[in-house]
Chains A and B, each alone.
Chain A
Amino acid sequence: MVESDEKTAIPQTLIEPIDMSRLDPKFRDEIRSMPDGDELTACFACSTCTAACPIANQWDYKPHQLVRMILLGMRNEVLSSREIWECLTCFQCQERCPQKVRVTDIFFDCKNLAAEGGKIPEKVALLAKELIEKGQLYVVTADWEREDLGLQASVPGLSVDYVRTALKDTRAGRIAGGGK
C-alpha cells in the first residue's frame, strides 16, 4: 500500500448523537414481552441481518440499527420509521441471525405498536378497512373465468361474515373505524 499525503475525510457518523433524555428505557422490555421478542437482547450487533436484507441498501436505518435502536430505547424513531413498514417479511434476516433473534417477527411487533399509536401508512389502513368491509382481501370479479374452468362462480366455503364481526372488536376494527 502506498502512503498518501492527502488527508482523509472525516468519517461519516451513521446517526446523530442520541438525546438520552428522549430514550425510553422500557421499550426493550415492551418488545420482549411481545410475541417472538424473547431473543431480542441476545443481539450482539454483528449486522448479519443487514447483510441478508435485500433492501437494506435503500434504508436510512438498517435492520441491525433498528434492533440496536430498540435496545437503546429509541421508541419514537423506531415506531415512526418507514423501514418497519417496508420490511418485505422475507425472513432472510431472521434465518441468518447467529443469535436466533427473530428480527422479522420483532418488526411485526413494532408495526403493531405503531398501529396502536395510530402511526400507520394510509394504504395499509385502507387494506384494513377493505378487509373488514368485504370480509376478505380479494373478491372474485371475473366469475365467468371460474365457470369456464369448471369451478363454482363463488368460492365454496369462504365465509366473509366472521372476519367482519370478529375484527370489529380488535385493533383492525378500530383502525377501519377511523379511531385509535
Chain B
Amino acid sequence: MLATLLLALVQQPAAAPAPPPPPALDVGAVAPDFALPGATRFGTLKNPVRLSDYKGKTVVLAFFFKARTRG
C-alpha cells in the first residue's frame, strides 16, 4: 500500500500538465503602456484608452474574467 502511495506521489507532476499562469508584475515595475478600445455606460469610445494619457494621475487597473459575471 505504501508503495502504491509513493508511486502516486512520484507520478503526480507528470499528471498535471497545466502551465502555470505568468507571474504578475511586481510593485515598483514600470506599468506597460497600452492602447485598447474603450467603453463607458454611454457607449463605446471613439479613441483608444491609453495608460499614458493618465500620466500624473493614479490609475487602478482591474482585470476581470468576463462581462456580466460577478466580481
Judge: A and B partners, yes or no. no
